[in-house]
Amino acid sequence: MRLEFSDSDLAFRDELRAFFRSEVPADILDARDREIELSREDQVRYQKCLHARGWAGVNWPVEYGGTGWTPMQKYLFALEAAAANAPDIIPFGISMVGPVIFSFGTEAQKQRFLPGILASDVWWCQGYSEPGAGSDLASLATRADRAGDRYVVNGTKVWTTLAQHADWIFCLARTSTDVARRQEGISFLLIDLDTPGITVSPIITLDGVHEVNEVRFEDVEVPAANLVGEEGKGWTYGKVLLQHERTTLTGTARSAYRLRRLRSQAGRSVRGAPPLADDRNFMRALAAAEIELKALEITELRTLAAVAAGEAPGPESSFLKIRGTEIQQAIDVLYMDAAGYYALPYVPEQYATGFPDERRIGDGVETRSALRYFNGRKSTIYGGSNEIQRNIIAKRVLGL
């Protein structure tokens, strides 16, 4: 039993720290610090920094241009990226469709799609959920009907994150209804969003932000060569992806950063008020969140150690998602508690580049705290709702 990082891990961590300190553009980190939303260009610029270092493919094997990092190194990368408050990598290309393509795709598909994903030249989005298929994803109804060398796609995908910026979409679509189980008729298709017949419409979330979309397909012709793997096996590929998605949704490193920042803020006087540290109720809640997060961090490391020993991440990855998202939400509440009245002003103009400091209302993240809390409610709903995650664990782990 040894709960410390090895010397080589520590050396690697130092290398990561140096990278984030000196190779990530200062203006991007500054924007992050000021809670300014990054443009598509800025996000791509960041990812290209990683790519230049050979670090874009965090989870990819070396043969496809990935880092080939051990689970512990990947963990340290997430830790140091969060500590530097670096942007999150947009997951749809690098963490989701990329691994599906190199795991199940043809050589031609790998050569065609993987380099663009890795270099962040091509932006992907995820076409899974539908108005009638949320938790019950297998009931999806978008059809892909084979016609010669094409599939003709009809249907509607919903909650498609950042589709307004995306170039391509990967879709689960139904290629056959003549099956014993609904999951069997589903295929994994790669679709160019420029194809005629596709309409992307914004869905505004409760915080007033345009983040997700509806994507409608009307007689969209997709080359059969864009089918990944075998027809009817899309559900399996999608499931592998979802298990990976779950581990990326734990967010322990980001949560640790946010709690450290809050604890530091609590020790200061904001606008001449007594420091929040004087509020024992608040400090107790902060301490409780820190304890819960520590437990999750160690659970995550236990999972990592198991994976390093050659075991695949299975149902316990569902558990990480449940606790990770609940803790994220608890931290959102603490930030809002800290803001007091200054959670109320809706002043998105403050979070644009160049807004004069002297006109700023509230201190730092206060006027974003309610919006973050509102938007953060989605985390226990997406990626497989926490209810579904509990069902999976009950069935697969507890045998109920």
- In the complex, the smallest distance separating the C-beta of residue 33 from other proteins, rounded to whole angstroms, is 22
Subset of 48-87 contacting other proteins (CB under 8 A): none
* SS3 at position 189: strand
User: Which entry of 15, 80, 107, 245 is annotated as an active-site residue?
Assistant: 245
Of the residues 9, 279, 292, 297, which one makes contact with other proteins according to CB under 8 A: 279
Of the residues 119, 224, 381, 393, which one makes contact with other proteins according to CB under 8 A: 381
- Separation of alpha carbons 217 and 199, rounded Å: 7
- Take residue 279 and report the two structure tokens written for it: 């509020």
Count of residues binding other proteins (CB under 8 A)?
50
Subset of 334-353 contacting other proteins (CB under 8 A): 336-337, 339-347
- Among residues 319, 335, 330, 334, the alpha carbon closest in space to that of 368 is found at 335
User: In the Cβ-directed half-sphere of 163, how many Cα atoms lie within 13 Å?
Assistant: 27
- Separation of alpha carbons 258 and 251, rounded Å: 11
- Which span sits near other proteins by CB under 8 A: 25-33, 36-44, 135-143, 183-191? 135-143
The answer to whether the CB of 162 falls within 8 A of the CB of 211 is: yes
Give φ, ψ of 350 to 5 degrees: -65, -20
Subset of 16-35 contacting other proteins (CB under 8 A): none
* Interface with other proteins, residue 364, by CB under 8 A: no
- In the complex, the smallest distance separating the C-beta of residue 272 from other proteins, rounded to whole angstroms, is 4
Of the residues 204, 305, 352, 397, which one makes contact with other proteins according to CB under 8 A: 204
- Take residue 285 and report the two structure tokens written for it: 């809640």
How many CB atoms are located within 10 Å of the residue 159 CB?
Answer: 22
- Separation of alpha carbons 231 and 175, rounded Å: 7
* Interface with other proteins, residue 161, by CB under 8 A: no
Of the residues 14, 15, 27, 136, which one makes contact with other proteins according to CB under 8 A: 136
* Interface with other proteins, residue 293, by CB under 8 A: no
Of the residues 103, 161, 195, 205, which one makes contact with other proteins according to CB under 8 A: 205
Give φ, ψ of 173 to 5 degrees: -135, 155
Looking at beta carbons only, is 139 or 199 nearer to other proteins?
139
User: In the Cβ-directed half-sphere of 305, how many Cα atoms lie within 13 Å?
Assistant: 12
Looking at beta carbons only, is 176 or 385 nearer to other proteins?
385
Give φ, ψ of 191 to 5 degrees: -130, 130
* Interface with other proteins, residue 397, by CB under 8 A: no
Looking at beta carbons only, is 251 or 362 nearer to other proteins?
362
- Among residues 60, 31, 198, 199, the alpha carbon closest in space to that of 119 is found at 60
- Among residues 136, 127, 151, 307, the alpha carbon closest in space to that of 223 is found at 151
* Interface with other proteins, residue 181, by CB under 8 A: no
- In the complex, the smallest distance separating the C-beta of residue 351 from other proteins, rounded to whole angstroms, is 13
Looking at beta carbons only, is 305 or 361 nearer to other proteins?
361
The answer to whether the CB of 317 falls within 8 A of the CB of 324 is: no
* Residue 292: active-site member: no
Q: What residues make contact with other proteins under the rule CB under 8 A?
A: 129, 132-136, 139, 158-159, 203-208, 270-273, 279-282, 285, 333, 336-337, 339-347, 361, 370-371, 373-375, 377-378, 380-382, 385, 387, 390
Active site residues: 245
